[in-house]
Structure 1
């Protein structure tokens, strides 16, 4: 039987098509050629090779000689800041590429046209430009007089005269992974000192030095191996395949036996090892790389090893993987971090443990890695199964499961107001439940006249503490922004009418949208009452800083249109507008009446923000309005949520700034038709000055949509990176030296957190509170903008001022793709780490904030300050066409 299986497997190997990368090379400083061997191909007709970066695709030329393809890639076609992939297909069917098993280097490097490219093969060929901000030289930089000490490496660059104004940086490269190294440079002696190796992991690293705008691989004058010890690794500087490397290996402690015992609040760990009696100090380290936390526990030495007690709360926090290490400290204060080496898996007599903690049953699992080192403790959080199956007349049927993992707990279906967090709970006693939601309960819990109520399953322990709170999905969800599944209407004791509509989020989580029509409000009941001369304009509920307010002011000044602007009464921006005519308080009697009469609705966001009721078919003739999306930026970066498919009643008019934005983005990717998209330019661009009288810097990052809770925010890379930046001592010194201020204007969701982190006493870095100035005024008042992905950068560029982009998480931000090529949308310099960003800030200050030489026509067609006029004329044209259609 076994021989038959082997025979079948062998036969399959002769039938499956294979494409194997056997060689790559640089050609004439213009291109890279890749040789691909084809096996088991009956026909070679229809083979195609394409280069794609997720945004655009280019057909690649190739030559075939018998069973070998030679594919040529011009480096001018490779995008700098995103991944480039080479994909092969035959008759539209893609086939996998593999690297020839005889090639020792699994990642290939080529210097072509003064750029360093990495090639790796995994089903397709990935080509990436490393260090795109530097010109890469084929020349090697020779180092001599190489010395090492604990966590330090010192060397002299041979025949090197360094410019006193040049900047020197060092990087380490491993399998395409690039890490910056902190160095100190003595320019008089051409001596550099590497100060920190903690960013480097185990493996072989090539060293690169960047001097000014040029980068070089480092080469040693001697070929002797030189040892280096750091807190994390034992290393050797040596030659591998004729190239100079820093080879790092972990410290290992061999484990002969191990016992894990789970107690009520702790885990007792006892280890038998070959560790010898000595005078060193030992501690036990628990490391959580995801949460960026470390916990240290004391170690008790035993006759044949050591033991320690680990707090369960340290292990279970965040339900993330925890790694274990033994820390050794010598008499000089040098630290060494040891991993545990396990020769045989038999040491693990028991690998999984069930732990009752916080009234829930967690599963802990210890595993051994492929390199035989002890892996980690994997924490599996108890899973609460839940699903809403149907809703009829606000009687909800659903299911909760896996209840046995919760000990002495009670379960509830909860409805919570999103603003006030007030909550009403309905007890659940069985896995299959039915709950009737009373309108009276919803009236009591809602915090605003127009609000959103979310559904949760909550779990409480015996003392009544909430230990779990999970959103619940709707089985029959068919998400649209302007649809609903069920609705009820209830009049309260004061005669106000409360509407409640069951809807879902884009993730199919169930929610209730609610609004109230006050007693005495007269709403129009027929379409004929819609007045084409009444236009209602808004942005977010609580802002007046964008294209909405810019267009409103222009219409009031230049036309006879009855244009109204709506904003919440308690908004910061309302104070500026409250004395203006035609400004409405959100939810007021006048707001309801104007909303029911307005024929034209113009918003920078969803029209939820300017209507006091649900924008959906059947509500006060919403379907008979002209819906205009004014936008709040230039599209072309991250996909946005305004696709036509997301609406039952989509926008009738979509405002854009250029033909590429219209055709490539809004039509091709978002599904709108030609006549629904107008190239007019954004209204707020009309108010941008061309003169720059400032020398201050504005730091204004956008949000990350994967952060949902305060806890996630405080543990996020996003928070840590910006918190580190505003506390960067070198940045503080540069600002002080040049008498420049950096003003930090966080996204509105992050304001409260960063406000606490800035100490303005004796500081050049200041916090700007939301609403204290308009965004447009902030852009006008500054000479340099630092942002990450925000489209306000286009406003800044339009004012002929420089922008620096901070892209430390670019791959995650564009995980779902980017709408236009990087070079067309990020107009300025890009920093991917804090060191580079501070360097670029200093360079911009030294150059007196000189603007970059940028061509804007493909991004912003009109730069004549007549955008409001074009928007007005376009809406009038839409009204006239609808009128002609109705009369015809």
Structure 2
């Protein structure tokens, strides 16, 4: 029975990994691997890789991506790109000293995570974690007791303090450098006719097969907002476009959402937009608990929080810590659909400018506010790990 449970794919994977391990031990080098999702190059990893290739071209830094992915076309110009899950991926995974990713074990070949965890001490590499989002609450999967992270990169000072206090890492394992993607966001061209509605995911919905999605408050509230007559009239009368962009983990539900409003576009495919460019371009962000509001506010642009399920979210998904939208947020908080529409109208009257009290809160979070984030990440890795 045990022999039948071992698939040919796992046997091949194990052999590739073990062969790479043997070869790599004879040729261990100061190689840095960088990855996001296997099909993406659009976030901190991409920005940091581009910086390293331009500023430190002699450094052996490589990016892992599926070369069939759309994002490959924009990263291939920098060279040092490795096909994800290829033999070279296995080999360089074992030869390298630094793994940089937005995911825990993100640089690892897809099927080799179990083996890699058991051989990390043999390979003696270090993991650098640059998360997609700001860690403003407590995420269980990122706690030190569950990870092999050696350096945790933070975007803001209160976030840094939160990681030190609640996540179990020492001060040597956490660096307040700022996120690489923030370096380029001062060079933005804002479209004052564009609003983005970008809610985060709900683990207790997406990971629960017994949940009927159309009965969830998540679906009901956003579907009602997308079809609200007052919002529709406002957008049409002011020639404003609103893009509804679902979180990656909720994208499997995107086809449930419908609207007859010609000024609202539902992003049914995440390839329609580069999320970083979309955030740079939009004049106003409407979100719930997504950490994209930190980046958006960093660009000195207004945010509206729509938190209709606040109690449920903080009970079931994300234990809150230092941050609450009411106390620390960078914009007004709405709990009902009508409040959201009213706040959108108010923001237009203010020419989509961030109000002073919210700008001050943003600067309290971002004590470092410049375009040197990539360089600080590089220096932190060199000083603490290399």
Correspondence list, 1:442-521, <5 A = 442-443=6-7, 490=11, 497-499=12-14, 517=16
In the alignment, structure 1 segments of 5+ residues that lack a partner are 1-435, 450-488, 491-496, 500-515, 881-888
Q: CA deviation at 1:751?
A: 2.8
Q: Which structure has the bigger radius of gyration?
A: 1
Instruction: Indicate the residue corresponding to 2:320 in structure 1.
Output: 818
Please give the alpha-carbon distance, in whole angstroms, between the structure 1 residues aligned to 2:251 and 2:235.
Answer: 23
Determine which of 100, 124, 131 is the counterpart of 1:631: 131
Taking structure 1 as reference, are residues 442 and 726 closer, same or farther at Cα in structure 2, changes over 3 Å only? farther
Instruction: Indicate the residue corresponding to 1:682 in structure 2.
Output: 179
Q: Deviations over 1:236-277 (max 9, x none)?
A: xxxxxxxxxxxxxxxxxxxxxxxxxxxxxxxxxxxxxxxxxx
Determine which of 584, 597, 616 is the counterpart of 2:82: 584
Secondary structure at 1:529 match in 2: coil
Considering fraction of residues, name the structure with more strand: 1
Q: Deviations over 1:482-523 (max 9, x none)?
A: xxxxxxx73xxxxxx244xxxxxxxxxxxxxxxx7389x644
Q: CA deviation at 1:527?
A: 4.8
Secondary structure at 2:330 match in 1: coil
Secondary structure at 2:32 match in 1: strand
Instruction: Indicate the residue corresponding to 1:556 in structure 2.
Output: 53
Secondary structure at 2:271 match in 1: coil
Q: CA deviation at 1:589?
A: 1.8
Considering fraction of residues, name the structure with more helix: 2
Please give the alpha-carbon distance, in whole angstroms, between the structure 1 residues aligned to 2:234 and 2:215.
Answer: 29
Instruction: Indicate the residue corresponding to 2:364 in structure 1.
Output: 858
Correspondence list, 1:696-735, <5 A = 696-707=194-205, 708=207, 709=209, 711-735=211-235
Q: CA deviation at 1:777?
A: 0.3
Q: Deviations over 1:586-631 (max 9, x none)?
A: 1112212211111000011112454452264443756501111112
Secondary structure at 2:304 match in 1: strand
Q: CA deviation at 1:635?
A: 1.6
Please give the alpha-carbon distance, in whole angstroms, between the structure 2 residues aligned to 1:584 and 1:755.
Answer: 34
Instruction: Indicate the residue corresponding to 1:544 in structure 2.
Output: 41
Determine which of 314, 329, 341 is the counterpart of 1:838: 341
Q: Which structure would you say has the larger RCO, counting Cα contacts within 8 Å and 6 or more residues apart?
A: 2
Q: CA deviation at 1:702?
A: 0.5
Confirm or deny that 1:788 pairs with 2:294. Answer: no
Q: Deviations over 1:39-59 (max 9, x none)?
A: xxxxxxxxxxxxxxxxxxxxx
Determine which of 597, 604, 610 is the counterpart of 2:102: 604
Correspondence list, 1:611-650, <5 A = 611-612=109-110, 613-614=112-113, 616-619=116-119, 624-647=124-147, 650=148
Secondary structure at 2:340 match in 1: helix
Please give the alpha-carbon distance, in whole angstroms, between the structure 2 residues aligned to 1:845 and 1:656.
Answer: 32
In the alignment, structure 2 segments of 5+ residues that lack a partner are none
Please give the alpha-carbon distance, in whole angstroms, between the structure 2 residues aligned to 1:694 and 1:644.
Answer: 41
Confirm or deny that 1:808 pairs with 2:372. Answer: no
Q: CA deviation at 1:686?
A: 0.5
- Alpha carbons 2:199, 2:247 under 8 Å: kept: yes
Please give the alpha-carbon distance, in whole angstroms, between the structure 1 residues aligned to 2:137 and 2:336.
Answer: 20
Shift >6 Å, 4+ stretches: none
Secondary structure at 1:857 match in 2: helix
Instruction: Indicate the residue corresponding to 1:409 in structure 2.
Output: none
Please give the alpha-carbon distance, in whole angstroms, between the structure 1 residues aligned to 2:232 and 2:242.
Answer: 9
Confirm or deny that 1:772 pairs with 2:277. Answer: no
Q: CA deviation at 1:720?
A: 1.4
Stretch of structure 1 that moved more, 744-753 or 610-619: 610-619
Taking structure 1 as reference, are residues 656 and 733 closer, same or farther at Cα in structure 2, changes over 3 Å only? same
Instruction: Indicate the residue corresponding to 1:207 in structure 2.
Output: none
Confirm or deny that 1:656 pairs with 2:154. Answer: yes
* RMSD after superposition: 2.5
Instruction: Indicate the residue corresponding to 1:871 in structure 2.
Output: 377
Please give the alpha-carbon distance, in whole angstroms, between the structure 2 residues aligned to 1:748 and 1:661.
Answer: 23
